[in-house]
Amino acid sequence: MVISIISIPELLQLAADRHDMKAFYDGLKAVYGPRDTGSIPVCSKDSKSLITGCAGILSHWAEHFNSVISLKPSTLLCCQSYQPGI
C-alpha cells in the first residue's frame, strides 16, 4: 500500500486541473478560513457613534449620496480642481 502525501498547493492545483470547484473552494477555505460576511461599521454624521446595523448603514449612505447629488454645480467644480497631496 502506497500512501502519498500531497501538499495543499498541489491539491488545489489538482482540483483546478480537474475542474472540481467544490474541492478547490474547500481547499481555499482550509487555507484562508471562512469568509467574513459581516458589515463594517460607519461613523455617524456627528462622528460621535458608530452605525453597525445593515439598515442604518444603508440609510447613512443614502443620506450621504443624496446630499452630494444636491450640491450646486459651482461647489462640485471647486472640489474637482482640488488635488490632495500634490
Please write the tens of the pLDDT for every residue from 65-86: 888 888 776 665 665 555 666 5
Q: What is the pLDDT of residue 80?
A: 58
Phi, psi of 46 (to 5 degrees): -90, 0
> 28: closest CA among 12, 17, 10?
12
Same domain, 50 and 77: yes
Q: Which of the listed ranges 16-25, 30-39, 58-67 does the model predict with the highest average pLDDT? A: 16-25
Task: Phi first, then psi: give them for residue 33, nearest 5 degrees.
Answer: 85, 175
Full residue range of the structural domain in which residue 30 is found: 1-37
Residues 3, 33, single domain; the answer is yes
Give the global pTM.
0.43
Q: Is 30 left (phi over 0), alpha (psi -120 to 50) or beta?
A: alpha
Is residue 2 in some structural domain? Answer: yes
- Tell whether 77 and 54 lie within a shared domain: yes
Q: How many domains does the chain have?
A: 2
Q: What is the DSSP letter of 39?
A: P
* pLDDT for the residue 16: 93
* Residue 10 included in any domain: yes
Contacts of 6 (CB under 8 A, 6+ apart): 14
Decide if 42 contacts 60 (C-beta within 8 A). Answer: yes
Residue 86 in domain:
no
